[in-house]
Structure 1
């Protein structure tokens, strides 16, 4: 079959080539991929900045398509079911094996392109907000808000009653966040008018200490990314002189007491009910995956970039 293969000699991108047919385990369904999404983390893996490879590794964690062979153990969706899935890798291909605990069925009202934008960003948003605790009536500061996760967090938090201030590189990139319920959009944490009960930080570098300084006493900062690739430097005495009893929490979206299937089913239900609106900034044929990766690295894509498999 055809698949996107890492092309290390081409700037950390991919090329279409031949790959072995998937060999599903007993609890995996074989899915014919119709669309997939590219995430920033996968671009980090491809250029070596995030070392999560193993022998034979190929990228691809967000897919939508149709089950062509149900799991051998009898669990999960039947053959012919339209699904959205979150495999650990290998999804940028014509076919992929996906664990049934990482699959959810799609209603006719949710197309493959929309569904492909849901898994990593949507699951992260759901779990991130659970880590933040109840947000109704609370002030929330969200950095790196114009990416895929940020759009979902903004809409979900605002619909839950939070007053969200979104930090976006430009006001143009942040315009959609206002439509999704953000109370304000600023271009740096320094411009945000605190204090905030919760800070959701994904940029790193100078962004985290600036956002931390805007926490209310007893507030919580959840650190869920470092998109800038710039390490964070915190001075204890600055922190000590800041918000009293402020807390910093590490976040890993893969750690939860719910399955990916359950999270995907929730996201699909919200989309089908008109309560969640994936922001898809780019839709292209999968032959242009390399271009999508380049644009994501240059922050030229707002929300998610989706590729369709011909």
Structure 2
């Protein structure tokens, strides 16, 4: 079958500078509790671009990217779990999804109603699951003041709409006002292009940029506030002066977040996201839809921060 394969790492090999190449891959062989999905669409996440350029480990020999897919089940799980062949699904495999077919654990799929198309569904998994679980960590948010940094990506759009619809007063930080404009339409109370301009204090800070952004956001916490650190999009290490922290808001807390830690079965969260979309309560922000032959272009645009929300590729 055809698949998108990792290119050479920057500065090496004949494909140097190409993030991905097209090639042939073996047909997926599903294990226990796995089904096979014929992929109709997939989305690209920034974390996958970091893996492709070597800034995150490629975890195993033969690794191929692909964690967010939508399509149709073409081979049901042998143990009878999960949907049967012919059912449309959204899925979150651990990898290998940028291909014509992919094996997925049955606990990581959710059925799609006719009202949710494959392109919309493909934008849901990683970003949507992250947003749901991030807000659970934040706790009750109705009436609370929330600061969200790095808000113009896929996770940020979902967090903004979900938090605002739950009664939170959300201030979003986006690199430019243009990239952040849609966030105001989704319910954000205020938009700023710099953490330094955010008018706190905030009960909850959701921080995804790293570098100088985290200590600046931490300084804007209210007493007893919570900062949840869920990303480092700037790829710049954080330097935190704990003497400044101790002089800051009393009883403030910092918590690190990883969406995979609490539960590695994603089907229920996927079903929740699908239900919200079908009912018109969640609106995936899809900035770009292209044929999968243009995956390398999308990766380049993501690296250059030229994608607002999600980018989706269609297969076949």
Taking structure 1 as the reference length, the TM-score comes to: 0.99
Structure 1 residue aligned with 2:281: 275
Structure 1 residue 212 corresponds to structure 2 residue 218:
yes
1:19 aligns with 2:43: no
* 2:118 pairs with 1:112: yes
Task: Could you list the structure 1 runs, at least 4 aligned residues long, displaced by more than 4 angstroms after superposition.
Answer: none
Query: Does the CA contact (< 8 Å) of 2:18 and 2:296 recur in 1?
Result: no
- Tell me by how many angstroms 1:137 deviates: 0.5
Secondary structure at the aligned position of 1:10 is classed as: coil
- State the distance in 2 between where 1:31 and 1:258 align: 19
Find the aligned partners of 2:66 and 2:265 in 1 and give their Cα distance: 19
Paired with 2:257 and 2:196, the residues of 1 have a C-alpha distance of 23
2:70 is the alignment partner of 1:64: yes
Match of 2:231 in 1: 225
CA contact (8 A) 1:36 1:306 kept: yes
- Does the alignment pair 1:170 with 2:183? no
1:1-310, aligned counterparts within 5 Å? 1-8=1-8, 9-11=15-17, 13-257=19-263, 259-310=265-316
Does structure 2 conserve the Cα–Cα contact (< 8 Å) formed by 1:199 and 1:220? yes
Consecutive unaligned residues of structure 2, counting only runs of 5 or more, are: 9-14
Structure 1 contact 12–43 (Cα < 8 Å) conserved: no
8 Å contact kept, 1:4–1:17: yes
Secondary structure of 1:199's aligned partner: strand
How far the C-alpha of 1:26 sits from its partner, in A, is: 2.3
What displacement does 1:88 show?
0.2
Pairwise CA RMSD of aligned residues? 0.8
Counting matched residue pairs gives 310
Report the Cα offset of residue 52 of structure 1.
Answer: 3.8
